[in-house]
Chains A and B, each alone.
Chain A
Amino acid sequence: EVQLVESGGGLVQPGTSLRLSCAASGFTFSSHWMHWVRQAPGKGLVWVSRISSDVSITSYADSVKGRFTISRDNAKNTLYLQMNSLRAEDTAVYYCARSSAVFDYWGQGTLVTVSS
């Protein structure tokens, strides 16, 4: 059974940093591109970032470019999102998602709240 479990969310102050993790199991992690998608409270889905299966390609939404860094450890079956210089508008549930072209499996999400 494919499982994606996010962790690392919480309440942080503006300007600070946070690192999210997504532990994957039930599939060959190293064979799949992985993504982060976020959803602000009561709002829609917004793609944040992606990383190729072999780590060679990363992409970011303009809203997080230069502040967020996606990475993965294929030996540990874990995806990461390093978030720096956090802003109030980064407040959201962050989902990790596996892709096989589309987002075919999603984690339950972890809530990040940026507030003073």
Chain B
Amino acid sequence: DIVMTQSPDSLAVSLGERATINCKSSQSVLDSSNNKNCLAWYQQKPGQPPKLLISWASTRESGVPDRFSGSGSGTDFTLTISSLQAEDVAVYYCQQYYGTPLTFGGGAKVEIK
């Protein structure tokens, strides 16, 4: 199984400041057939289902604010919120879809400092 490890578990960031969440996979999730990394990021607010933010490590979904960005390749990935807004308070999960079982990171809780 591909183990996804997120860090930190939680972070408190001031409004307007940058938030950075890391995700490391236990093996590469780079799909050689299309040279894309099979890595997604989701946002989950309390009492709600997860919402897809980013796929293929860096492709933002339609309607997702451009303050959210994803980067990385191979085994190391990052989700960056460039200027934290109050509505961004949530838990963020990375997920690999390179192989089964599909696996998620443990989540990173983002709060306002």
Number of A-B contacts (CB under 8 A): 50
Q: In angstroms, how far is the closest chain A Cβ from the Cβ of B109? A: 11
Q: In angstroms, how far is the closest chain B Cβ from the Cβ of A112? A: 15
Q: Interface size on B (CB < 8 Å)?
A: 22
Say if the beta carbon of B20 comes within 8 Å of chain A.
no
Q: Are the C-beta atoms of B97 and A101 separated by less than 8 Å?
A: yes
Residues of A within 8 A of B79 (CB): none
Minimal Cβ-Cβ distance residue in B for A47 = B102
Say if the beta carbon of B106 comes within 8 Å of chain A.
yes
Interface residue ranges of B41-76 to A (CB < 8 Å): 42, 44, 48-52, 55, 61
Say if the beta carbon of A45 comes within 8 Å of chain B.
yes
Q: Interface size on A (CB < 8 Å)?
A: 19
Q: Are the C-beta atoms of B50 and A103 separated by less than 8 Å?
A: yes
For the complex, what is the distance from the CA of A59 to the CA of B44, rounded to whole Å?
25
Partner of A106, one of B40, B49, B61, B106: B49
Partner of A45, one of B52, B61, B104: B104
Q: B78-113, CB under 8 A of A: which get 1 and which 0?
A: 000000000000000101010011111111000000
Q: Give the 4 A-B CB pairs with smallest separation, nearest first.
A: A106-B49, A47-B102, A102-B40, A45-B104
Q: Please, could you name 10 A-B residue pairs with CB atoms under 8 Å apart, sorted by A?
A: A44-B93, A45-B104, A45-B107, A47-B102, A59-B100, A59-B101, A62-B101, A95-B50, A103-B40, A106-B50
Additional A-B contacts beyond A101-B97, A102-B52 (13; CB < 8 A): A35-B102, A44-B93, A44-B105, A45-B50, A45-B95, A46-B104, A47-B101, A95-B49, A99-B97, A102-B95, A104-B52, A106-B50, A107-B49
